[in-house]
Structure 1
Amino acid sequence: MKAIVILLDSVNRHFLGLYGQALAHTPNIDRLAKKSVIFDNHWAGSLPCMPARRDLFTGRLNFLERNWGPMEPFDHSLGEALREHGVYSHMVTDHYHYFRTGGENYVQQFDTYAFVRGQELDPWVSKVSRPESAAAFIGKRHPQYELNRTAFHSEADFPSPKTLKQAAEWLESNKDEDRFLLWAEAFDPHEPFDLPQERLHPILHSYSGPEYMWPEYGVVDVPDQALAHIRSRYSALLEMADHWVGKLLDVLDRHNLWEDTTVIFTSDHGYLLGEHSFFAKNYMPVYNEIARLPLTVHLPGGAHAGTRIQALTQSVDLYPTLLESFGIDPQRSCRNRLHGKSLLPLINGQSDKLRDELIYGYFGKNVNITDGQWVYFRSAGEADNRPLHVYTAMPTTLGHALGPSHIEDLKAIEAGAFLSWTEYPVYRIPGHVIRTNDRTQSFLHTGDLIKAHRLFDLSADPCQNNQLFDEDAEKQMIYKLISCMHRHDAPEEQFARLGLQARL
């Protein structure tokens, strides 16, 4: 048995034909979906990028304990669990956050890995003199990316095409092997929405404004023409990634590897492109465009292909699913208590659900819950967002060490076995003394955009356009939220921070 995971970053599933709207043309993802089981109610857990990956690689939600950060030394990773049972693993990726401070220990779990350079702020092309900015542009630009893109002379030079091409080449050279996992992870369609000229040229026919390829996170503040243009760029970037996904699928076709290979397609989180008047993620409430993800699973031989599953599933479920696909018992093999559950009983018809509700969110911001019909966003009870602690044995975060900005605040850091599910000692760092260099990651204050509780009925309002005020429904969701937080080992102060009773 073989397994392949294809992960594209920041996929807004409304752009995919398999979820109905088809705002982009993705024939290769559609081609894979026809051979697969499609999950209609699949959700993120911890957000954004690295928290989502820690969920994927540990089968546990981590956003109740810490913010963006590395794999912890007490995590029993997917690659490690596979290796212990004789399964080889290889990653190909251009996701440069794996190689930044705050992304430690992720790629090291694989037996081998390949890193394709050049995405976003990857410090790759080196030149002392910084390039000048364009005379006119909207949104963001960054000198390092301006240098990186000087190395992209054709579509095949862009990092995500190179990533998926290398994944296809690795599969070609290992087609006759058995018991391996290939993790093919492309950064696109994550911003910046940069494109080769042949893909950009048709888009520019309908746009006459300044260059615009990198939206600011937050409230939409651009003209309608620019909004339409950035959505077109996103769509074209997703289409480019889809084209190169096809190269990987071609290898499966050429050697009939579909017969003995599990192939999973998914994303880490979604992305807002003007919906709810927001761009991107992090600042705003976690609307479904961010939290509800694509997921398709092809089983060897195409078993149950064409089935659509409505049960609630989550990113943490991929860890036990992959283990079970190789005949490994997830519960007995994992040294940490799993939150995820294998998808195989759902696919095989042995079960009609894995859970009644699930929670998701960013560390230190709203904790959100859905039972499939209702979605409830629960915000902090106090303006100062206390009590809140980061629990970690690896005190780094996005781009820098995680710690207080003032020397006197060091006295507030404690060490001990504070987590209920592991005896491993960790640092307990008060959230209010931490400063994050990336302002979109800040959790010091919840902010005006997410400070209110919100309730939505997806059965009547699937696009979440109408916030409801239903006391009975809110009470039911609060009860479910408390229960779900307990099942996910939430530190006690999280209940107090959210204004919830710690016991039902």
Structure 2
Amino acid sequence: MKTILIFMDTLNRHMLRVYNPEAKAVTPNIDRLAEKSMVFDKHFIGSAPCMPARRDILTGRLNFLERGWGPVEPYDVTLPQLLRAQGVFTHITTDHSHYTSIGGEGYMQQYDTWDFNRGQETDVWESRLEEPPAPRSYLGRVGRQYQWNRQHYKTDGDRPTPRTFASAVKWLKNNEDRDDYFLTVEAFDPHEPFDASEEFKAMYPDSFDTFYEWPRYDALNEQETPEAVEHLRNQYCATLSMADKWLGKLLDEMDRQDLWEDTLVIFTSDHGHMLGEHGVTGKNRYHAWNEMSRIPLFIHLPGGRNAGERAEGVTQNIDLFPTILEYFSREKEERMERAQRRKEQDKKNLAGRMFIPPDWSMPVQGRSLWSLLNREKEKIRDYAIYGWFGKPVNITDGEYTYFRAAANDKNAPLYLYAAGLTSFEQYLGCNLPGEDICAGYFLKNVPMPVFRIDMSRKTPEKPSMGLGENRLYRISHDPGQLHPLTDPLLEEKYCQALIKTMKEHDAPEEQFERLGLI
């Protein structure tokens, strides 16, 4: 049995023709994969951005109610761990540079083997003391490190995402005719900076002549004119088309090996990106608009069963954990016998990575998608909740979305819980007053003490970009979320649904107080 998870960072759903026939981006290989798959129409993020989204997938649990960006926790029971214990070989190839940064520890190391393709964004790859070549004038950001890294890129094939797909092709060739593996192919593109080779930029011509490929995370200013925003979107599309070309090489290898007959293939993203919609660029600092939180999901079933059909139930990335685990539960006993023989051989050779399954497990909050994939049910849940740590908690049933903001300007009480005290390129707790951090058995279902850090003092007292306001939208009629509704009865319905769903996800008690839900 085989599973290939293909993961493209910052992939805007509305830029794909399978979801938006008028989309500008040219992505024949994403379209090709969609034709072989069941397409999910109401798929949402759980936790965002990058590392929280990945922890969701690896654990089947929501990260954002307890902490923001951070490592795999020592108490996490991860999908690769459980698959390895069942005799499934796991491998990841990626160019996601945050895996090697402070705050990204432990993710690649969950796998038997991993391959990291260097050079994206802030990856400290090219080491120079002098200042790099830089454009004379530009909009948005220009990163010093990336300016040095990009000196390596003469063709599209030199760039990290193409090298990631090429690495996946090589891995499949090296392991042709093998069975019982879980391959994760994780491409950083089309994440910013939107840097593509000239071949792909030429596909989206415009007359804007100022360098602009790395947007600010803020409201548009007077320089970011409609022409500038259109150029930024063109840069995004070029980067996406370049990644699509190299995805095609992976699909070609799957064609050659006829992997479609016996392989589960999953394609999704972690979140989208604002490119001028709602007057902003970037992510993280605004309400979780659909452009960021409603993401693509395709699943190819072995043999092409139900290919081209659409699934309407509300789903999230936490659902991938139980779906993949259930798939590999078939033929488990035979595979376990093979795994035991491999372990015994590894022991003799003093090689290999021995893994002892934990004698406890965290309750999985995701729900298997097999009842949707097999057309046995139309939905697996009534509501999905999602968001960023410390920001509004959002809920949807696919018909409406409701953004529930903090009930006070101090965004309090708000605690971060973690055993690993790192976050995005920083250490937590080092510069806090003594009363702001303590340790104890604070988390339900976690069999060890964790740190609790008061984060309410770390957030602005005046939430920006409308984050202090509750919002209600009917996304079935208003997918762009341009027309907020005023309906107290409907809002109360979603408040009660939010309370119930947060409890199901083991939300810390103070989250209800922070949101004014008690």
Distance in 2 separating the partners of 1:215 and 1:248: 30
**Secondary structure of 2:18's partner?**
helix
**Secondary structure of 2:178's partner?**
coil
Letter in 2 for 1:388: L
Tell me what 2:469 maps to: 452
Distance in 2 separating the partners of 1:271 and 1:7: 15
Q: What CA deviation, in whole Å up to 9, does each residue of 1:74-106 have, x standing for no partner?
A: 000111010010000000000000110000110
Q: What CA deviation, in whole Å up to 9, does each residue of 1:414-444 have, x standing for no partner?
A: 111100121221000111355xxxxxxx677
Structure 1 residue 134: deviation in Å? 1.8
Tell me what 1:74 maps to: 75
Letter in 1 for 2:403: F
Distance in 1 separating the partners of 2:132 and 2:30: 37
Letter in 2 for 1:212: Y
**Structure 2 residue 3 is the aligned partner of structure 1 residue 3:** yes
Q: What CA deviation, in whole Å up to 9, does each residue of 1:211-241 have, x standing for no partner?
A: 1111111212201111110101101111111
**Secondary structure of 2:142's partner?**
coil
Structure 1 residue 401: deviation in Å? 0.4
Structure 1 residue 374: deviation in Å? 1.1
Q: Is the 8 A contact 1:9 1:190 kept in 2?
A: yes
Residues 85 and 250 of structure 1, relative CA distance in 2, 3 Å threshold: same
Q: Is the 8 A contact 2:2 2:180 kept in 1?
A: yes
Tell me what 1:233 maps to: 235
Structure 1 residue 202: deviation in Å? 4.8
**Secondary structure of 1:251's partner?**
helix
Tell me what 2:18 maps to: 18
Q: What CA deviation, in whole Å up to 9, does each residue of 1:470-502 have, x standing for no partner?
A: 00100000000000100000000000000111x
Tell me what 1:217 maps to: 217
Q: What CA deviation, in whole Å up to 9, does each residue of 1:271-311 have, x standing for no partner?
A: 11111112121111101111101000001111111210000
Q: What is the alpha-carbon root mean square deviation over aligned residues?
A: 1.7
Distance in 2 separating the partners of 1:172 and 1:87: 18
**Secondary structure of 1:236's partner?**
helix
Q: What CA deviation, in whole Å up to 9, does each residue of 1:9-56 have, x standing for no partner?
A: 001111111112332111111111111111001000001010000001
Distance in 2 separating the partners of 1:289 and 1:101: 28
Residues 276 and 447 of structure 1, relative CA distance in 2, 3 Å threshold: closer
Tell me what 2:348 maps to: none
Tell me what 2:335 maps to: none
**Secondary structure of 1:419's partner?**
coil
Distance in 2 separating the partners of 1:55 and 1:208: 39
Tell me what 2:484 maps to: 467
Q: What CA deviation, in whole Å up to 9, does each residue of 1:96-146 have, x standing for no partner?
A: 001100001100000000000000010000111122532111110011000
Q: Is the 8 A contact 1:404 1:410 kept in 2?
A: no
Letter in 1 for 2:375: G
Letter in 2 for 1:265: F
Q: Is the 8 A contact 1:14 1:23 kept in 2?
A: no
Tell me what 2:98 maps to: 97
Structure 1 residue 396: deviation in Å? 0.3
Tell me what 1:259 maps to: 261
Tell me what 2:451 maps to: 427
Tell me what 2:401 maps to: 375
Letter in 2 for 1:410: G
Letter in 2 for 1:299: L
Tell me what 2:361 maps to: 335
Residues 201 and 20 of structure 1, relative CA distance in 2, 3 Å threshold: closer
Tell me what 1:196 maps to: 197
Q: Is the 8 A contact 2:81 2:111 kept in 1?
A: yes
Structure 1 residue 349: deviation in Å? 1.9
Q: Is the 8 A contact 1:363 1:443 kept in 2?
A: no
Distance in 2 separating the partners of 1:239 and 1:50: 25
Tell me what 1:150 maps to: 151
**Secondary structure of 1:377's partner?**
strand
Q: Is the 8 A contact 1:365 1:443 kept in 2?
A: no
Tell me what 2:501 maps to: 484
Distance in 1 separating the partners of 2:67 and 2:462: 16
Tell me what 1:399 maps to: 425
Structure 1 residue 466: deviation in Å? 0.1
TM-score by length of 2: 0.92
Structure 1 residue 197: deviation in Å? 2.0
User: Number of residues paired by the alignment?
Assistant: 490
Letter in 1 for 2:211: E
Superposed, 1:165-180 pairs within 5 Å as 165-180=166-181
Distance in 2 separating the partners of 1:461 and 1:334: 44
**Structure 2 residue 279 is the aligned partner of structure 1 residue 277:** yes
Letter in 2 for 1:138: L
Distance in 1 separating the partners of 2:457 and 2:481: 35
Distance in 2 separating the partners of 1:355 and 1:246: 34
Tell me what 2:326 maps to: 324
Residues 194 and 100 of structure 1, relative CA distance in 2, 3 Å threshold: same
TM-score by length of 1: 0.94
Tell me what 1:494 maps to: 511
- Aligned with residue 301 of structure 1, among 281, 300, 303: 303
**Structure 2 residue 436 is the aligned partner of structure 1 residue 412:** yes
Structure 1 residue 362: deviation in Å? 0.4
**Secondary structure of 2:387's partner?**
strand
**Secondary structure of 1:452's partner?**
coil
Q: Name structure 2 gaps, 5 residues minimum.
A: 333-357
**Secondary structure of 2:452's partner?**
strand
Q: What CA deviation, in whole Å up to 9, does each residue of 1:356-402 have, x standing for no partner?
A: 00100000010000011110000001101110100000010000101
Distance in 2 separating the partners of 1:334 and 1:228: 52
Tell me what 2:119 maps to: 118
Q: Is the 8 A contact 1:385 1:445 kept in 2?
A: no
Letter in 2 for 1:453: N
Letter in 2 for 1:430: D
Structure 1 residue 248: deviation in Å? 0.6
Distance in 2 separating the partners of 1:96 and 1:354: 34
Structure 1 residue 173: deviation in Å? 1.5
Q: Is the 8 A contact 1:358 1:370 kept in 2?
A: yes
**Secondary structure of 2:292's partner?**
helix
Structure 1 residue 461: deviation in Å? 1.5
Letter in 1 for 2:63: N
Structure 1 residue 448: deviation in Å? 4.4
Distance in 1 separating the partners of 2:276 and 2:330: 43
Structure 1 residue 328: deviation in Å? 6.1
Structure 1 residue 257: deviation in Å? 1.0
Residues 71 and 328 of structure 1, relative CA distance in 2, 3 Å threshold: farther
Structure 1 residue 350: deviation in Å? 2.2
Q: What CA deviation, in whole Å up to 9, does each residue of 1:158-194 have, x standing for no partner?
A: 1000001111111121121001011000000000001
Residues 256 and 333 of structure 1, relative CA distance in 2, 3 Å threshold: farther
